Amino acid sequence: MQPIPSQVMRTLPARALALSAAALAVPILGIVFFSESLDRYSVLLWTLALVPAFLLAYYRSWPWVSLALAAGMALLIAGYLVAIVRGFEAPDWPFLVFVVSAYIAIALGAGWIGELRESAAARQTTRQELERAYEALQRSHAELQAAQLQLIQAEKLESVGRLAAGVAHEVKNPLMTLLAGIQYLQKQGLATNADVEGLLVDMSTAVKRADFVIRELLNFSSPHPLDMKANDLNDVVERTLGLVKHEVDRVRITVVRELGEGLPPVTFDAYRIQQVFLNLIMNAAQAMDGSGTLTVRTRLTSASALGTAAGNRATGAVMSNLDAVLIEVDDTGPGIPADKLPKIYDPFFTTKPTGQGTGLGLSVALQIVEMHGGKLSIVNRAEGGVRATVLLRLQPEQDTHGDDREETRPAR
Amino acid sequence: METTAKKRVLLVDDEPTITRTVKLYLEGTGAFEVRTENQGKQAIPAAREFRPQVIVLDIVMPDADGGTIAADIKADPDLKDTPILFLTALVSQSEVGAHRGKIGGHPFLAKPVDMDKLVDTLNALAGGH
C-alpha cells in the first residue's frame, strides 16, 4: 500500500471528521436500536477508542496509522452491520471482537513503529543538518573574529608606521643636542661635585633610553629587507650573551649554555636574529630579577616542527631530515599569567614598569622570526618559568615573506 | 695645549642647537676647528671658503637634502676629495650596521651620536688629510 502523502492528509480534515462521525453514529444507532447484551457495549467501546486515535494519527500526519485505524473502524462497522442484519444472532461476538482487535493492534503497532523509525530518521537528519550548520556558523564566526583581529592589528601597525618616521626625526634631533651637551659637560669636567656628576650620568642614560624606544619603534614599523648570510648560530648566541652581560650581572642570575656541537651554518640576517635573542634573553633576565637560572639551548631539529605552513617537505622524515635549528631560552621566573599570554605579541603590551619596556620587544622578535619563515613560541614551563623557542630553517625558502605568516603565528 | 694641526670640520645641520653643542664639544677636545652651517644650500659655498677636512652633513633638511649636497660636493673639482660623514635622524644604528655604515658610499652615524664615536670617526676620516 502506498503511504498517503501527508499533504493530502492535512488537506482533508472535514472528511476525516465526517468519517469519524459516521464511524461513531453507526454503532451508536445499532446499540440504541438493537441492544440486547453487554457485548454490544464492549464493541462500541472499541470503536469509540479508535476515533480519537484515528484523529490523532490523522492530524499528526501518520498515514500508516491512520489507514490502519480507518480499516479497523470499517471492519467494526461492517461487523455491526452484519450483526444488525442478523438481528444480533451472530454466533461469536467475542471472537469477532478479538479478531478485529488483534488485526487493529498489529496494524497499529506496525504502523506506529514505522512512523517512529521514520520520524527518528528524520530527526537524526535534521539534527545532523543543524549540527553542520552550527559548525559552519562557528567556523565563520571564528574566521570573522580572526579577520577582525588581523584588521585591528594591521591598522595598529600602519598607524605606528606612519607615526614612527615622523616621531623619530622630531625626537632624535633634540636627543642629539641633549647628548652632545651632556657629554660636553662631562668631558670638560664641569661637573663640580658628585651630585652634578650623577645627574649628568642619569641624563645621559635617560637620553639613551629615549633613543632606544625610538629605535625599537623604527625597527618595528619599517622592516627592511633581510641581509641573509650563512652564520654560526652559536657564535651569534655568544655575541648576544656578551651584549647582555652587564644586565645579567646586574640582576645576579646564572647563565647556563647548552649549545649544540657541530651545528651546520644557518642562513639568516645576523643582526636581526641577534635582536630577537637580545629581546628574549633580556625578557628572561628581567623576569627573574634577583636570582634564577637562564638557560640558552641550541640544537639541530626538523623543520616539520614548523608545522604544515612550513611546507610538507619535512613530513615523513623523522630524524634523517634535520633541516632546522632550535634555540630555546628558559628562565626560572614567575611565568606569564594565563590572561596575559594571548597579548604578549601585541605592540605596546608590556608588564614591565613604565620606562623599563616599550612593549615592542616581542612584537619585533615575532616579526623578525616570521620574516625568516621561522616560528617563535613562548610558553610557561610546567616546572615554572617561561620557555621561548625560536625555530629557523638552515636554508629558508626563497620567499620568506610568504602568505603563511599568519599561520606560523602561535595562537593568540 | 698643543695647537698644531687642528682638523677642520664643516658641520651642516638645520638645527642650530645641534651645530652649537657639537661645535662646543668638538672644539672642547682641542683637536678640531669647526664651522657650522644651518642652511643646506650654504654648505658648498661654506666648504669652498673653509676648506674642511671632513664635511658632516645632516640628511633631512628643509631647504636641501644631504644626499644631493653630497652629490654636488663629489661633482665639485675643489671639494671632491673631501670625506663626507652623514648624520641622520631617520635611520637607526641597526641600519647603519646593515649598510655597513654607508649611504651612497659615505659613512653615516645615527642621531643621537655618541660624541666619542663622532670624534673617532672624524679622526679616521680626516686622517689622510
Give residue limits of the domains in chain A: 6-132, 159-220, 226-408
Q: State pLDDT tens for residues A17-44.
A: 545 555 555 555 555 444 555 455 556 6
Cell 451508536 belongs to which residue? A28
Classified as helix, coil or strand, A398 is coil
Which of B91, B97, B116 is facing A271, going by the closest CB pair? B97
Contact status of A286 with chain B (Cβ, < 8 Å): no
Q: State pLDDT tens for residues B41-65.
A: 999 999 999 999 999 998 888 888 8
CATH number for A226-408: choose from 3.30.565.10, 3.40.50.1370, 3.40.640.10, 3.40.50.300.
3.30.565.10
Stronger pLDDT, A364 or B24, i.e. the higher one: B24
Which of B29, B94, B112 is facing A176, going by the closest CB pair? B112
Identify the DSSP state of A148.
Answer: H
In this predicted structure, what is the pLDDT of residue A270?
A: 85
Contact status of A165 with chain B (Cβ, < 8 Å): yes
Query: In chain B, whose CA is at the least distance from the CA of A229?
Result: B98
List of chain A residues whose C-beta atoms are within 8 Å of the C-beta of residue B20:
177
Q: How far is CA A160 from CA A7, A221, A262, A368, B65, in A?
A: 65, 6, 42, 17, 25
Q: CA A302 to CA A138: how far, in whole Å?
A: 34
Assign a CATH topology to domain B7-126: Rossmann fold (3.40.50)
Q: Which residues of B touch A (CB under 8 A)?
A: 15, 17-18, 20-22, 24-25, 28-29, 60, 87, 89-95, 97-98, 110-116
For all residues of chain A together, what is the average pLDDT?
A: 74
Q: How far is CA A15 from CA A8, A388, B80, in A?
A: 11, 79, 112
List of chain A residues whose C-beta atoms are within 8 Å of the C-beta of residue B113:
176, 179-180
Please report the ipTM that was assigned to this predicted complex.
0.84
Task: Work out the minimum CA distance from B95 to partner chain A, whole angstroms.
Answer: 8
pLDDT, average across residues A169-195? 88
List of chain A residues whose C-beta atoms are within 8 Å of the C-beta of residue B91:
218
Identify residue B116 by its one-letter amino acid code: D
Test B111 with A173 for CB contact under 8 angstroms.
yes
- Percentage of chain A exceeding pLDDT 90: 17
Which of A207, A227, A275 is facing B112, going by the closest CB pair? A207
Residue A314 belongs to what H/E stretch?
none
Of A359, A333, A355, nearest to A345 by C-alpha is: A359
Picking from A46-55, A177-186, A401-410, which range would have the lowest pLDDT averaged per residue? A401-410
Task: List all residues 6 or more positions away from A154 whose beta carbon is below 8 Å from its beta carbon.
Answer: none
pLDDT band at A247 (very low <50, low <70, confident <90, very high): confident
Q: How far is CA A318 from CA A260, A299, A314, A323, in A?
A: 19, 15, 8, 11
Q: CA B34 to CA B23: how far, in whole Å?
A: 6
Stronger pLDDT, A265 or A87, i.e. the higher one: A265
List of chain A residues whose C-beta atoms are within 8 Å of the C-beta of residue B24:
180-181, 184
List of chain A residues whose C-beta atoms are within 8 Å of the C-beta of residue B56:
none
Q: State pLDDT tens for residues A266-317.
A: 999 888 888 889 889 888 888 887 788 999 999 988 877 665 443 333 333 3
List of chain B residues whose C-beta atoms are within 8 Å of the C-beta of residue A176:
15, 18, 22, 87, 89, 111-113
Query: In chain A, whose CA is at the least distance from the CA of B89?
Result: A169
Q: State pLDDT tens for residues A103-156.
A: 566 656 666 666 677 788 889 999 999 999 999 999 999 888 887 777 776 676
Helices vs strands, H then E, count in chain A:
11, 7
Give yes or no for residue B73 having a pLDDT over 70: yes
Contact status of A217 with chain B (Cβ, < 8 Å): no
Written as nine digits, the cell of A188 is 670638560
Test B89 with A173 for CB contact under 8 angstroms.
yes
Test A187 with B28 for CB contact under 8 angstroms.
yes
Residue of A169, A170, A172, A176 for testing the chain B interface, max B β-carbons within 10 Å: A176
Written as nine digits, the cell of A159 is 598607524
Contact status of A166 with chain B (Cβ, < 8 Å): no
Classified as helix, coil or strand, A321 is coil
DSSP A365-392: HHHHHHHTT-EEEEEE-TTSSEEEEEEE
Residue of A172, A215, A278, A367 for testing the chain B interface, max B β-carbons within 10 Å: A172
